[in-house]
Structure 1
Amino acid sequence: MITQAHQGTTSSAITRLSVTAARLFDIPAHGYAHLLGVAPEHLDDDLCRTPAATGIRIAELTTVRVPWPELSLLLAEQSGIGTLGVWDYLITSAPTPLEGIRDAAAYLAVVADPGTDSLRITEDGEQIVISHVNEADPGYEPACAIRAFALGLYQRRLSAAAQRRLVPLRVTLAARAPRRHHPLIELYGTAHIEFEAPISSLTFRAVDLTAPTPHAQPGLSDVLRRHADQTLATAIPLHSWLDLFRTALASVHDETFPTLPMVARRLSVSPRTLQRRLDEHDTTWSNEVEAARRDHITRLLHGTELSIDAIAARSGYADARALRRAVQRWYGTTPAALRRTGRTDPTGPNGKPAPEHRRPVARPMT
Structure 2
Amino acid sequence: MLPAPTPADPHGTNRSTSATIQPNILRYLVMVADERGVDLRPLLSQVGLDETLMRSAALRVSYRQGSAVIRRALELTGDERLGLRVGAAQHLTAWGLLGFALLADDTLRHAIETGVKYQNLSGAMTVWSTGVGEDGAFFLRADLPDPAIDPSVASFLIEEGLASVVTLSRLAVGPDFAPRVVEFSSSPPPRQRELYGALFGCPVRFRAPADRIVIDPAWARAAMHGRDPVTYASTLETLDAQLASRTDQQDLLEVLEVSVAQSLPVIPSFGEQARRHATSERTLRRRLADCGTTYEALAEGVRRERVEQLLLRPELTLRDIAHRAGFSDERALRRAVRRWHGTSPVQLREQLLRAAAHRE
Equivalent residue of 2:212, what SS? strand
Q: TM-score, normalised by structure 2?
A: 0.61
Whether 1:124 and 2:134 are equivalent positions in the alignment is yes
8 Å contact from structure 1 (residues 91, 157) kept in 2: no
Provide structure 2 residue ranges, at least 5 long, that are not aligned to the other structure.
Answer: 1-10, 258-266, 289-360
Q: Counterparts in 2 of 1:182-193, with a 5 A limit?
A: 182-190=194-202, 192-193=203-204
1:287 corresponds to? 280
Please give the alpha-carbon distance, in whole angstroms, between the structure 2 residues aligned to 1:90 and 1:121: 21
Whether 1:227 and 2:238 are equivalent positions in the alignment is yes
1:211 corresponds to? 222
2:152 corresponds to? 141
Query: Which structure dedicates a bigger proportion of its chain to helix?
Result: 2
Q: Give 2:281's aligned amino acid.
A: E
Higher relative contact order (CA 8 A, sep 6+): 2
Please give the alpha-carbon distance, in whole angstroms, between the structure 2 residues aligned to 1:148 and 1:86: 24
- Per-residue CA deviation, residues 86-107 of structure 1 (Å, 9 max, x unaligned), is 2323332211111111111111
Q: Give 2:127's aligned amino acid.
A: D
1:329 corresponds to? none
From the CA coordinates, give the structure whose radius of gyration is larger: 1
Q: Give 1:120's aligned amino acid.
A: T
Report the aligned-residue RMSD: 3.7
1:45 corresponds to? 56
Please list every run of at least 4 consecutive aligned residues from structure 1 whose deviation after the TM superposition is greater than 4 angstroms: 1-7, 233-240, 277-281, 290-295
Please give the alpha-carbon distance, in whole angstroms, between the structure 2 residues aligned to 1:8 and 1:291: 17
Percent sequence identity over aligned pairs: 14
Shift of 1:212: 2.9
8 Å contact from structure 2 (residues 128, 140) kept in 1: no
Please give the alpha-carbon distance, in whole angstroms, between the structure 1 residues aligned to 2:92 and 2:40: 28
Shift of 1:11: 1.0
Q: Counterparts in 2 of 1:248-327, with a 5 A limit?
A: 279=269, 282=272, 287-289=280-282
Given the superposition, is the C-alpha separation of residues 14 and 227 from structure 1 closer, same or farther in structure 2, using an over 3 Å criterion?
farther
Given the superposition, is the C-alpha separation of residues 177 and 282 from structure 1 closer, same or farther in structure 2, using an over 3 Å criterion?
same
Shift of 1:175: 2.2
Shift of 1:22: 3.7
Q: TM-score, normalised by structure 1?
A: 0.60
Provide structure 1 residue ranges, at least 5 long, that are not aligned to the other structure.
Answer: 244-276, 296-366
Equivalent residue of 1:120, what SS? strand
Q: Give 1:34's aligned amino acid.
A: Q
The size of the alignment, in residue pairs, is 258
Whether 1:58 and 2:69 are equivalent positions in the alignment is yes
Please give the alpha-carbon distance, in whole angstroms, between the structure 2 residues aligned to 1:202 and 1:294: 38
1:88 corresponds to? 99
2:314 corresponds to? none
Whether 1:107 and 2:118 are equivalent positions in the alignment is yes
- Of 50, 59, 75, the residue aligned with 2:86 is 75
Q: Give 1:81's aligned amino acid.
A: L
